[in-house]
């Protein structure tokens, strides 16, 4: 994975040299937003199953996914950074939307991982899914208010 122009804006693109040739799915994100004004409180967003603006895209090698969102700042400048929660998937995995069947299944799977009352087969499936999950870090980048 790489950020095409190294600006930390979340424009993720798969590396065509991946050995497994598989796809990834963006499952959620975690952001911190820090305003330039030191008296302002930091904003933290942690949504491991919320996708990106409601989308749970499947990104195949060579493809990109871009999205835009915003936040209210009390100052004209700030810094934002965080991570995307990603999962390795088969290329035939369907693109999903939050609230759809895929999102409900993924959210249920995460909740099941937290509880310990699953049988051995279910536990094995969850371990495999956990192995296929990873975090894609986004280095902090500057925010500037538009006038």
Residue 103 lies in a domain: no
C-beta separation of 81 from 141 below 8 A = yes
Count the alpha carbons within 13 Å of 135 in the hemisphere toward its beta carbon: 12
Structural domain tally of the chain? Answer: 1
Residue 123 lies in a domain: no
Give the model's pLDDT for residue 110. Answer: 53
Q: Where in the sequence is the domain holding 7, given as residue range(s)?
A: 2-97+133-144
Residue 116 lies in a domain: no
Flag whether pLDDT at 18 surpasses 60. Answer: no
- What CATH number does the domain containing 9 carry? 2.60.40.1470
Using 50, 70 and 90 to split pLDDT, how confident is the model at 65? very high
Report which DSSP code applies to 84.
Answer: E
Residue 115 lies in a domain: no
Residue 67 lies in a domain: yes
Residue 118 lies in a domain: no
pLDDT tens figures, 112-128:
555 555 456 777 777 77
Task: Report CA dihedral (92, 107, 130, 102) to the nearest 10 degrees.
Answer: 0
Residue 79 lies in a domain: yes
Average pLDDT of the chain, as a whole number? 76
Residue 80 lies in a domain: yes
């Amino acid at each position: 994975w790489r950020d095409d122009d190294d600006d930390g804006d979340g424009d993720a693109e798969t590396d065509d040299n991946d050995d497994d040739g598989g796809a990834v799915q963006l499952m959620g994100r975690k952001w911190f937003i820090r305003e330039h004004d030191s008296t302002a409180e930091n904003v933290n967003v942690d949504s491991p199953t919320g996708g990106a603006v409601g989308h749970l895209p499947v990104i195949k090698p060579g493809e990109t996914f871009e999205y835009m969102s915003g936040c209210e700042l009390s100052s004209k400048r700030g810094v934002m950074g965080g991570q995307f929660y990603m999962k390795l998937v088969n290329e035939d995995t369907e693109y999903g939307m939050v609230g759809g069947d895929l999102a409900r299944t993924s959210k249920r799977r995460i909740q099941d991982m937290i509880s310990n009352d699953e049988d051995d087969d279910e536990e094995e499936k969850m371990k495999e899914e956990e192995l296929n999950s990873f975090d894609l870090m986004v280095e902090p980048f500057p925010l500037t208010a538009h006038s």
